[in-house]
C-alpha cells in the first residue's frame, strides 16, 4: 500500500501518544486503518481510524511504535508499505526501512472497544485550556488536576490544598460536574488537533474526540477515584489525607 509518510506518522503519534504506548496492532478495515490501544497503567485508552486507508495487508503487529514513528519521520513524501513474513518494509525511491514485527499475542497494549458510557455533557473546545493546564503542571511540578464545571464555568486546577495552585477557566454551557484526574490526564494534551469534543460527568472517565475529514481519534482517561491513589498523592506531598 502507498501512503504519505507524514499522514501515517501524525496519526500514529496521536493514537500512541507519541510512541509512549509502545505496542499496537495496525488493522486495515474497509473503513480505513484502525488502531485501539491502552497504556501500560490501564488509565488511558485510545481508539483511532485513519479514514480511507485500505490495504491487502490484514494486520501489522507493531513491537515498537516509537521506532515506527521515527522511521516514518525519515521520509518526506509517499512511501510503499509491504509485509513479508514478520517484516514491515517502508520504501521510497531513495530509502528502505525494514522493521521486525511482533506476534499478535505479544502486543501488550491492544484494547477492545470502549465501554458504552453515557455522558450528560459534551462540548466542543479549543485545546488551549488544556495546553495551558499542562504548562501549569510543569511549572508546579504537580501532575494531579481537578476538572470542574460550575455555574457554566469550566475550571481546571493543578495543585492541591495547602500547596501552590493554578486554575485555568473558560465559560461553557454545560451542567455542573467534578472529576479528579491523575498524572495520565495531561499525557493526551500534546496530541490534540485544533478542536476536540470533551465528554464529562462526575466520577466517570473523561473522553475526548477529534474528528476531521481524514481521521477520528478518541482518548478516554480514567479518573482518580480510588481512595488509595488519592492517599498516595497526599503522602507524596507530605500531607495527611482526609478521613
Span 6-21, average pLDDT:
98
Which segments of 70-201 are extended strands (E)? 78-84, 87-91, 96-100, 121-125, 145-150, 153-158, 166-171, 177-181, 196-200
pLDDT digits 0-9 by tens, 62-111:
999 999 999 999 999 999 999 999 999 999 999 999 999 999 999 999 99
The bridge status of strand 96-100 relative to strand 87-91 is: antiparallel
pLDDT at 239: 46
In which band, very low, low, confident or very high, does the pLDDT at 51 lie, cut at 50, 70 and 90?
Answer: very high
User: Per-residue pLDDT for 237 more than 70?
Assistant: no
pLDDT at 113: 92
pLDDT digits 0-9 by tens, 169-185:
999 999 999 999 998 99
Closest CA to 160 of 237, 243, 222, 232: 237
pLDDT at 240: 40
Domain boundaries, the chain: 2-106, 121-194+224-236
> How many alpha carbons lie under 13 Å from residue 73 in its C-beta half-sphere?
11
What does pLDDT average to over the chain? 92
User: Per-residue pLDDT for 21 more than 90?
Assistant: yes
Closest CA to 77 of 66, 58, 91, 89: 91
Dig out the grid coordinates for 238 from the structure.
Answer: 507530605
pLDDT at 55: 92
Crossing angle of the two packed helices 65-72 and 5-15, in degrees rounded to 10: 150
Query: What is the SS3 assignment for 13?
Result: helix
pLDDT at 160: 77
Instruction: Return d(Cα 176, Cα 154) in angstroms, integer.
Output: 9
Over the Cα atoms of the chain, what is R_g?
20
pLDDT at 235: 56
pLDDT at 162: 78
How does 198-223 read in b/e, with b if 16+ C-beta sit within 10 Å?
A: bbbbbebbbbbbbeeeebbbbbbbbb
Closest CA to 215 of 4, 2, 71: 4
Q: DSSP character for 115?
A: P
Span 47-58, average pLDDT:
95
Record the pTM: 0.90
Domain 121-194+224-236, architecture per CATH: Roll (3.10)
pLDDT digits 0-9 by tens, 191-213:
999 999 999 999 899 999 999 99
Closest CA to 156 of 173, 180, 138: 180
Domains 2-106 and 121-194+224-236 equal at CATH topology level? yes
pLDDT at 125: 95
Phi-psi region of 233 (alpha: psi -120 to 50; beta: other; left: phi over 0): alpha
Strand order, beta sheet including 196-200: 59-62, 24-29, 32-38, 44-51, 215-221, 206-211, 196-200, 121-125
Span 122-131, average pLDDT:
96
- At the fourth CATH level, the homologous superfamily of domain 2-106 is DNA Polymerase III, subunit A, domain 2 (3.10.150.10)
Amino acid at each position: 500500500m502507498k501512503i504519505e509518510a507524514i499522514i501515517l506518522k501524525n496519526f500514529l503519534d496521536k493514537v500512541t501518544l507519541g510512541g509512549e504506548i509502545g505496542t499496537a496492532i495496525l488493522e486495515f478495515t474497509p473503513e480505513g486503518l484502525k488502531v485501539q490501544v491502552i497504556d501500560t497503567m490501564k488509565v488511558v485508552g485510545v481508539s483511532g481510524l485513519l479514514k480511507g486507508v485500505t490495504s491487502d495487508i490484514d494486520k501489522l503487529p507493531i513491537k515498537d511504535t516509537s521506532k515506527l514513528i521515527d522511521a516514518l519521520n525519515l521520509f518526506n513524501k509517499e512511501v510503499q508499505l509491504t509485509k513479508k513474513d514478520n517484516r514491515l518494509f517502508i520504501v521510497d525511491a531513495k530509502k528502505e526501512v525494514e522493521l521486525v514485527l511482533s506476534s499478535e499475542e505479544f502486543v501488550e497494549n491492544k484494547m477492545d472497544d470502549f465501554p458504552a458510557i453515557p455522558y450528560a455533557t459534551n462540548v466542543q473546545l479549543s485545546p488551549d485550556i488544556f495546553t495551558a493546564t499542562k504548562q501549569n503542571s510543569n511549572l508546579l511540578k504537580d501532575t494531579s488536576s481537578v476538572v470542574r464545571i460550575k455555574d457554566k464555568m469550566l475550571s481546571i486546577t493543578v495543585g492541591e490544598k495547602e500547596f501552590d495552585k493554578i486554575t485555568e477557566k473558560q465559560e461553557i454551557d454545560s451542567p455542573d460536574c467534578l472529576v479528579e484526574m491523575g498524572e495520565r490526564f495531561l499525557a493526551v494534551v500534546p496530541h490534540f488537533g485544533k478542536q476536540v469534543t470533551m465528554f464529562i460527568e462526575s466520577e466517570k472517565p473523561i473522553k475526548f474526540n477529534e474528528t476531521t475529514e481524514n481521521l477520528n481519534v478518541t482518548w478516554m482517561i480514567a479518573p482518580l477515584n480510588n481512595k488509595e491513589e488519592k492517599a498516595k498523592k497526599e503522602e507524596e506531598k507530605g500531607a495527611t489525607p482526609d478521613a
